[in-house]
Structure 1
Amino acid sequence: MTLAHQDVIAILGHYDDIRVVEIIETGATGPELVEAKRWLAGERRTLGEDQPLRPAIVNELYEILSAEDPEWDEA
């Protein structure tokens, strides 16, 4: 089951709405987001081997979570 806004907030806590939308658009599941969050903390493959993961999605989530804040044009 893909994530909804409240699911992302429940996993990550307060988070930028733009990034929440990016996360939802990946089609990720809750366990995949949890895994990406753990990757960000320096851990790898923290879920049991019986938990199916799509590494490309987890990596995409990791990239979203680790991206720096955008520099807004103040023109």
Structure 2
Amino acid sequence: MDTSTSGSANSGFVGIKFCQECNNMLYPKEDKDNKILLYACRRCQHQQAADNPCIYVNKITHEIEYVLANSI
């Protein structure tokens, strides 16, 4: 039972994945030998390959008018 709550690509929300065995949260883990991203359970050692290599989105927005007004 893969209950992932991943959002759309435009939303910026990467999502949370849950273990198929024990329903605990899966954490990102690097497979250094194969150079792929895995999601691993810390409780039962279940692992699955990641669909998307993105694990975090940092959106930076600038208010140009605010920056220009305060720089003078």
TM superposition score normalised by structure 2? 0.30
Between the two structures, name the one with larger relative contact order (CA 8 Å, sep ≥ 6).
1
TM superposition score normalised by structure 1? 0.29
